[in-house]
Amino acid sequence: MSRNEGEVTTAVATGSAALSAADRCDRCGAQAYLKVELLSGGELLFCAHHAREHGDALKAVAATVIDESHRLADTGSSTSDEER
């Protein structure tokens, strides 16, 4: 079985796959807007800031990326910069 490195599927989550406010960034603890399912079988959660910072490296190890950063447009002005 060959592994297709570099092929990443990006999806917008719907229904039960959606991230909730309880899902936190594995790097800083802010609300997670990106879920990365790894080729190795694990998963990582990232806020939008850390998803952008580590984006290139994540593409190399991701099987699937669920990106809900579009929800940031719906956040109020009281949302901290760390969560954006």
**pTM attached to this predicted model:** 0.68
Cα gap 68→47, rounded to integer Å: 10
User: 12 lies in a domain?
Assistant: no
Q: Which domain holds residue 59?
A: 23-71
pLDDT at 36: 96
In the chain, the number of structural domains is 1
User: 61 lies in a domain?
Assistant: yes
pLDDT at 15: 46
68 CB-near residues (< 8 Å, 6+ apart): 12, 13, 18, 19, 33, 34, 35
- pLDDT (tens place) for every residue of the chain, 84 residues total: 445 555 555 555 444 468 999 999 999 999 999 999 999 999 999 999 999 999 999 999 999 999 999 988 875 666 566 555
Q: Taking the mean position of all CA atoms in its chain, how far away is CA 77? A: 22
User: 52 lies in a domain?
Assistant: yes
User: 39 lies in a domain?
Assistant: yes
User: 7 lies in a domain?
Assistant: no
13 CB-near residues (< 8 Å, 6+ apart): 19, 35, 66, 68
User: 30 lies in a domain?
Assistant: yes
